[in-house]
Amino acid sequence: TDSTRSRNLELQIQSRVTAELERILQSSTQRLTDSQDQISSEEPSAPPSSEPADPSLVERIDDKLTGQDTAAKHHRKNVSRDSVSKEIAELKRKLQARKKLEGMDRGVEKAKEDVVQCLRKNDRRPLDCWKEVETFRSEVGRLEKAFVERTVR
């Protein structure tokens, strides 16, 4: 029937598309590994100059639009893989040092427990817990306000 033929055609098309996508994925993965090997095997022969020889028209227009200078862009391009890895490791270390979880405020904790208890008690009628929810919201609002005041100062 027509529906069977169209289904079979659709399956054939899907299988061809899937095969083509897998082929493209393999070739792009191979190119990526080749590029990484080539980059890692190359040694910097000369230190990058501080000023590029002749920036292209596109780079000059981009510089004017973004307000960045071409030398800074070239410097970013010439950053080695090792220096980027070191910078990432240092940023991770700084981030770990900043992670300080504060204990939950007693008022918020109590309001949260009240909401949970009310919802368990009124599992068929959750709208009966509106007072507890409003109390919880006000406690959270108080904490947010205190956080904003601490951050702004």
Quick check: 54 pLDDT over 70?
no
Query: What is the rounded CA–CA span in Å between residue 48 and residue 74?
Result: 9
pTM across the whole model: 0.35
- 20-48 pLDDT tens trace: 999 999 999 898 888 888 877 765 554 45
Residue 79: its pLDDT value, please? 65
Residue 124: its pLDDT value, please? 86
* Residue from 69, 67, 71, 73 nearest 50 by CA: 71
Residue 85: its pLDDT value, please? 84
Query: What is the rounded CA–CA span in Å between residue 25 and residue 31?
Result: 10
Quick check: 5 pLDDT over 50?
yes
Could you tell me if 135 and 111 are in contact, meaning their C-beta atoms sit under 8 angstroms apart?
yes
Residue 128: its pLDDT value, please? 87
Determine what percent of the chain falls in helix, strand and coil, rounding each to the nearest 5: 80, 0, 20
Query: What is the rounded CA–CA span in Å between residue 144 and residue 149?
Result: 9
- 64-116 pLDDT tens trace: 666 666 556 555 656 677 788 888 898 888 888 776 666 778 888 999 999 99
- 113-138 pLDDT tens trace: 999 999 999 888 888 899 999 999 99
Quick check: 146 pLDDT over 80?
yes
Which is more confidently placed, 151 or 69? 151
Contacts of residue 142, defined as CB under 8 A and 6 or more positions apart, other chains included, come to: 107
Residue 139: its pLDDT value, please? 93
Query: What is the rounded CA–CA span in Å between residue 90 and residue 18?
Result: 42
Degrees to nearest 5, angle at CA 143 with 138 and 144: 95
